[in-house]
Amino acid sequence: MKIIIVGCGRVGSELASRLYQRGHQVAVIDNTVASFSNLPPEYNGRTIEGEASNRDVLHRAGIEQADGLAAVTNNDSMNAVVAHVARTAFDVPHVFVRNYDTRWRPMHEAFGHQLVSSSSWGAQRIEELLYHADIRTVFSAGNGEVEIYEFSVPALWGGRKLGELLQGVECMPVALARAGRAFIPSLDTVLEEDDVVNASATVDGIETVRQRLTASQEA
């Protein structure tokens, strides 16, 4: 694939290195030459100095043939503009944007950008780790708005239906493992002690489930 990366800070340089090592054609744009020193010595892809909002700079980076573009500078307005131009003017099929300051996230959402917000995602993951020791995250979608969690069924929930546990909660069952075999459960599935449940949920949804599980253990 031919990939353009806008911004050669810590995120951009790491992304460029990873893509280059996997055999992709990579071009990195940054308006400061010194930023290219963040790239590892083994990186032999292209580097283009200039403002990515300048179409001539994008042309030099090969925007017309690009399969993907990642705008990962620490300037949210720059990321938004470059991503919008890549999508609307050059029809780049895969465009992703870094949200640096969470206060600018609504702007990116208004543009309809595919968004990666490391600050929001990181804060949420740390929050979960702090008080969700009994429920672990196994997959995160988007920026963590919805995740797949895994938890074991305590003894007091044995013999009760899964639907009772998830009733009225932003949480949907994905899989249930019992005695080493997994299947897709329904809300009518009767739980057994030590069943391992995977469920897709929001943070609020899984917190309600956690409270219900904890309440049963303390009863």
CATH number of the domain within which 36 lies? 3.40.50.720
Per DSSP, the three-state class of 153 is coil
Q: What is the pLDDT of residue 133?
A: 59
CATH number of the domain within which 186 lies? 3.30.70.1450
Q: Are residues 152 and 82 in the same domain?
A: no
Q: Are residues 172 and 103 in the same domain?
A: no
Q: What is the pLDDT of residue 203?
A: 87
- pTM (predicted TM-score): 0.65
Beta bridge partners, 71, equal 6, 97
Looking at per-residue pLDDT, the higher value among 101 and 121 belongs to 101
Domain boundary, last residue among 117, 140, 173 = 117
Average pLDDT over residues 181-204: 94
Is the confidence at residue 164, as pLDDT, over 90? yes
Domain boundary, last residue among 87, 117, 147 = 117
Q: What is the pLDDT of residue 125?
A: 66
Average pLDDT over residues 101-128: 78
Determine phi and psi for 182, rounding to 5 degrees. Answer: -110, 150
Query: What's the number of domains the chain is made of?
Result: 2
Place of tokens 């806008």: 6
Average pLDDT, rounded, for the chain? 90
Beta bridge partners, 115, equal 97
Q: What is the pLDDT of residue 179?
A: 87
Is the confidence at residue 53, as pLDDT, over 80? yes
Q: How confident is the model at residue 106 (pLDDT cuts 50, 70, 90)?
A: confident
Q: Are residues 32 and 110 in the same domain?
A: yes
Question: How far apart, in whole angstroms, are the C-alpha atoms of residue 68 and residue 213?
Answer: 44
Measuring CA to CA, which residue among 64, 88, 78 is closest to residue 4? 64
Q: Are residues 90 and 160 in the same domain?
A: no
How many CA atoms within 13 Å lie on the side-chain side of 177? 8
Q: Residue 63: give the domain boundaries.
A: 2-117
Answer whether residue 123 is part of any domain.
no
Q: CB of 98 within 8 A of CB of 126?
A: no
Q: CB of 99 within 8 A of CB of 114?
A: no
Q: Are residues 19 and 104 in the same domain?
A: yes
Looking at per-residue pLDDT, the higher value among 189 and 128 belongs to 189
Answer whether residue 122 is part of any domain.
no
Q: What is the pLDDT of residue 127?
A: 67
Is the confidence at residue 147, as pLDDT, over 80? yes
Q: How confident is the model at residue 107 (pLDDT cuts 50, 70, 90)?
A: confident
Average pLDDT over residues 45-59: 95
Place of tokens 């017309």: 64
Is the confidence at residue 128, as pLDDT, over 80? no
Q: CB of 176 within 8 A of CB of 198?
A: yes
Question: How far apart, in whole angstroms, are the C-alpha atoms of residue 169 and residue 157?
Answer: 17
Measuring CA to CA, which residue among 29, 76, 25 is closest to residue 52? 29
Q: Are residues 140 and 175 in the same domain?
A: yes
Q: Are residues 151 and 190 in the same domain?
A: yes
Is the confidence at residue 80, as pLDDT, over 80? yes
Domain boundary, last residue among 117, 142, 173 = 117
Average pLDDT over residues 44-70: 95
Per DSSP, the three-state class of 210 is helix
Enumerate residues 6+ apart whose C-beta is below 8 A from 50: 29, 31, 56, 57, 60
Q: Are residues 27 and 51 in the same domain?
A: yes
